Chains A and B, each alone.
Chain A
Amino acid sequence: SQTIHQWPATLVQPVGSPLSLECTVEGTSNPNLYWYRQAAGRGLQLLFYSVGIGQISSEVPQNLSASRPQDRQFILSSKKLLLSDSGFYLCAWSAPDRSYTEAFFGQGTRLTVV
């Protein structure tokens, strides 16, 4: 069966520090991968998605970047965090060979920028 791992679960970082959140998927090949952000009391905002190694689509302009160095690994990064980067970050995957996009989420990373 497929599983998704996301870490760390919580993170407190000072303003201006770098960020690296990692997500890996097991049990499937060539998954579609996603990074979502959920600000307090807000909806799920799609930040990046990837349909293959090295292929990254950015949905909103921001202080963050994403990379997919391996088929089942998706990384969210920042060179210098802003206070507004605080939120709940969710990685997700979906099967690439389906006509519809059911997403399976990781457990999330709660990032607090201080």
Chain B
Amino acid sequence: GENVEQHPSTLSVQEGDSAVIKCTYSDSASNYFPWYKQELGKRPQLIIDIRSNVGEKKDQRIAVTLNKTAKHFSLHITETQPEDSAVYFCAASKEGAQKLVFGQGTRLTINP
């Protein structure tokens, strides 16, 4: 089955700098890659997703890139702010699989 690896497990950046979180997946048939943000004590919520027919997607300060050949995708956050501090999860799924497989999560801390 699908296996998703996420790095780093923790990331600390200065406010205003950029943060990058990377994930690799094992199943070449996977075609949907969402990213979730989980603030302390709260539920994970979808922040951005990408499908395999595109290589990059951007939404304000957040962008996701996908390299299907290498089977990896990344989350990029620019101009980081204190409210970006949270745990971020990547995930992968394929059509018909009916389930998401998550990475281990990255705890992002934005230092003022």
Contact = CB atoms under 8 A, between A and B. Distances in A.
Interface SS majority for chain B: loop
Interface string B34-70: 1000000011111001010000000000000000000
A5 B105 CA distance: 24
B100 A101 contact: yes
Contact of B89 (A44, A102, A104, A108): A44
Interface residues of B, number: 24
A32 interface: yes
B6 interface: yes
Nearest to A9: B41
Interface of A: 32, 34, 36, 42-46, 49, 51, 90, 94, 96, 99-108
Interface of B: 6, 31-32, 34, 42-46, 49, 51, 89, 93, 95-105
